[in-house]
Amino acid sequence: MIVSEVMTTRLVTVTPHDTLSHAANLLRQHQFHHLPVVRDASSHVPWEADQPARNSLPVLEGLLTSQDIDLAAAVGTESPGDAEHSPWEERSVAEVMHRSIIRVTPTTSVAAAAQILVEQGLNCLPVVEYVDAENMEQLSETPDFLVGLLTRSDLLVALARTLGAFEPGTELLIPLPAGDLTPLARMLLLAAGLHVKVQSLIVAPPRDSAPRVATVRLGTINPGPLLVRLQEANISYKFADFQPESDSHAS
């Protein structure tokens, strides 16, 4: 899976010359925590458009977060009579935005992007595209065309969709003793024979010395016939527990 499959493409942006007051209003209005800072942001062209159209995309200049605005407001409150600084509401986005930011491309793998978010402690990554080699020779600098934004929320939605969480179904846990995939393979053959759709399949790396378990999402709410076959084949299984941990000990 690559970034272009899960990124947000309908973006709200600001320019370096916009005021912090304007940016703060946008953050409140849309309940965002960050805004890409761009130039030539008169229109957004879909990333799927042809190359000439994509060359008119806005150019990424930086990133502005709600924390940047909060800090500017706090400094302005502490020194309201400072003649060197305008009221924080009138300061420009360019004064406080982050210019050196990590970015990814539409073809970056989602796994690599997720690793960057976790390791760097980030909440979002701008997704950029570069001009083709022919047009690059005509430019004095290589602009980063903003085509999307990848957030932690995007990754969570993608994970939920991959797991089939938005579709009716049943989730089974198949133990894999000593990492043996035979029970899983037999289970899949039985499901195929009964024409039971498998929406997703995950075998996560084990934690410590815990045995591996395959999580299988079935596209049916009536897995009875398959469960009978599993019992006949002596294949162990159990249902996933969707009860929140905080409620598991409730009386």
For the chain, which ranges sit under pLDDT 50? 41-45, 47, 49-52, 83, 133, 136, 139-140, 243-251
| Residue 165, in any domain of the structure | no
Taking the C-alpha atoms of residue 127 and residue 217, their distance in angstroms, rounded to an integer, is: 31
**pLDDT at residue 153, as a whole number:** 93
| Residue 249, in any domain of the structure | no
Note whether 190 and 116 are same-domain residues. Answer: no
**pLDDT at residue 35, as a whole number:** 94
Give the global pTM. 0.71
| Residue 99, in any domain of the structure | yes
Q: Which of 139, 160, 181 is the last residue of a domain?
A: 160
Note whether 66 and 189 are same-domain residues. Answer: no
Q: Which of 160, 187, 210 is the last residue of a domain?
A: 160
**pLDDT at residue 44, as a whole number:** 47
**pLDDT at residue 143, as a whole number:** 78
Note whether 156 and 130 are same-domain residues. Answer: yes
| Residue 152, in any domain of the structure | yes
Q: Which of 126, 160, 194 is the last residue of a domain?
A: 160
